[in-house]
Structures are given as C-alpha cells and as structure tokens.
Amino acid sequence: MRQYIQILIAFVCLISYLGCSGDKTPTGWGQIQSGTEAHLYGVHFIDAKRGWAVGTDGLVLSTEDGGVTWLVRSPEKAVTPNALNKVHFATPNNGWAVSIRGQIHYTGSSGKSWTPQKSPTDAGLLDIYFLDETEGWAVGGGGVILHTNNGGGTWSRQNSPPTPHLWAVHFADAKHGWAVGKEGKILHTNNGGEAWGEQRSWTEESLLGVYFVNPQTGWVVGTGGLILHTTDGGANWQPQKSKTPKTLRGVAFRDSKQGWAIGEDGLILHTTDAGFTWSPQASGSPWHLLDICLYKAHAWIVGSKGTILRLS
C-alpha cells in the first residue's frame, strides 16, 4: 500500500511539473480581446511580457502581461490621423512606427507619447526594422530605403536599384539585410545598406514578408500563397508548397526549422521542418492576419477588426 501511495505521489508531482512549468510549450492559438474594431497592421514584443500593436488612425495598444490584456497607449489620431503600418521597439522605452507620406514616429516613453522624426521622403513607409536603439531601416513606396545610425535623429536614403513598392525589410545582423516588394523584387545588402543589389526570385507575385534566422537561411511570402526559401543568403530561392492560393502577409521563424506564415481569412501555416511541409493551424478568426511576432517560445499575431491572437 505504501509503495502504491509513493508511486501515485510521484505521478501527481510529475504531472504538476509538466503542467505548471514556467517554460511549458505553447499548444494552440487563442483569441485575445483587444478592445477595438480598428485594423491592426503591426505588432512587436521586446520580451515575453511587453509588446505593442499599431493600426488604423494612429492607434497604439500595449501590453505588459504577454498579451493577455491590452490597453490603449495612444488613442486614435493622437499620434497621427493616418494608419500606423508597422512598429518596432529596440528597448522597453524606445520604439518607432511608420505611416504614409514618409512619416516616422518615435517614442522614448514606452509609447505614452510620440514625436515625429524628420524624414527625407514623402513616400508611404510600410515597414521598419531596428537592430538596436541606434541603427534601423525603413522601406516603402517607390522602393525607398531609409537608414539611421543615431536612433532616427537623422534619416538618409540608401542607394538601391529602381524598384516598385517595398513591403518588408529584415536584417540577420548589422551587415546582411533583405527588402522585398512588388513584382517579385528582392533586394539584398551585405554591407549594412551601403549598397543594395537585386536577387532573382523567379516570380512576379508581390512579396509581402521576409524573415532570416541567420545570414544564409531565410523565407519570403507573398500573394498567391507564395513561399520562397533560401539556404545560401538568397543567391538561390526555391519555392515551397503552401497548398493555398491565399495571400500570405507575414512570416517568422523561431529557429532554422520551426516557423509560421500568416495571411488572408485567418490563415496560419506552421512548419517544423524548415518549410519542407506546411500545415494549417486553427486561428479561430475569419479576418485577415497582417503581422506576426515571435519571442522565444511565445508568439503573437494581429489583423483586421482588432484581431489579436496569442500562442498559449
């Protein structure tokens, strides 16, 4: 009898440990109440707890509990009357958001207040990426690429091949970066943007998202369910089978094997083998999903009609 009780106690302890471990593996996507019907175009987390989402009419939401609850950090039209397209934070205090007409907005107060930074373009800016609190890039209409090395104190245009709209930008490190856009355009730099060159994608589809886990290994997604993959820094891009015709608007990877692609009508695709196979995951949402952010074992997605999803 005593031996049975000891085995039972050990079993209960094991289940308790597996179920209550602070580092447990997330199992599914859950819908979070955002408190808004506004479209949310961008999301970024600086750690497992603190994150921001931006969207229609300059709306900024923030969370300090991993996305369980969200508060209006800056109400609609407080930052700008225009949509904020993407947001990126380099520290818990320092962040940037981009909008139309070349607008770049900066906060040094975790998003409580925002100030405009001087931009050398009137083109709409569609994505922004910072390596740290000093160096970042923004891309947008007409193929514009902007760069700063002083936290946005000054922004300058970088030279790049003639290109239509650039929808997304991502850097693997301080030297190696990629920007993607209309008509299958992929631009690449290996010197921090001092020079950008074109890589062949072999497609005319619009490319809307790009993500690299290191200077060699990356993915691009776009219209028509397109997914491209490279293992040689973009010298060669190979298509992967998404098994969907729907537009994919964002992609992110946890490591060289596990990643997600998101898109129209609540579509979430997941891979655990670097994209050799992609499988749908239930989102519980009928709305377009527009951006995804990963931090270690955690993940968040935002989209139309105030949609916020959390991997939990």
pLDDT at 4: 41
- The single-letter code of the amino acid at 228 is L
* pLDDT reported for residue 287: 98
Q: What percent of the chain has pLDDT over 90?
A: 88
Give the Cα separation of 75 and 58 in Å (integer): 7
Tell me how many helices (H) and strands (E) the chain has.
1, 28
Q: Which amino acid is at 225?
A: G
Q: List, for residues 41-82, the tens digit of each pLDDT value.
A: 999 999 999 999 999 999 999 999 999 999 999 888 889 999
Stretch (H or E) spanning 13: helix 2-20
Radius of gyration, CA atoms only, the chain: 20
Query: What pLDDT does 26 receive?
Result: 56
pLDDT for position 27 = 61
134 burial type by CB count under 10 A (0-12 exposed, 13-18 middle, 19+ buried): middle
The confidence score (pLDDT) of residue 75 equals 84
* Nearest residue to 178 via CA among 146, 148, 210: 210
- Quickly state the pLDDT bin for 5 (edges 50, 70, 90): very low
* b/e code 214-250 from CB counts within 10 Å (16+ = b): ebebbbbbbbebbbbbbeebbeebeebebebebbbbb
pLDDT above 50 (res 3): no
What is residue 304's three-state secondary structure?
A: helix
pLDDT score of 1 more than 50 = no
In this prediction, residues 114-136 reach a mean pLDDT of 97
Which H/E stretch holds residue 137?
strand 136-140
Does the pLDDT of residue 20 top 80, yes or no? no
Spatial distance between the Cα atoms of 271 and 221, rounded to a whole number of angstroms: 14
What's the first-to-final CA gap in the chain, in angstroms?
A: 39
Residues linked to residue 289 through DSSP beta bridges, in sequence order: 303
Average pLDDT over residues 98-127: 97
Evaluate if residue 143 carries a pLDDT over 90.
Answer: yes
This prediction has a pTM of 0.90
Residue 123 binned pLDDT confidence (cut-offs 50, 70, 90): very high
- Which domains, from first to last, does the chain contain? 30-311 (2.130.10.10)
Query: pLDDT for 243-274, tens place per residue?
Result: 999 999 999 999 999 999 999 999 999 999 99
Measured between alpha carbons, how far is 62 from 131 in angstroms, rounded to an integer? 21
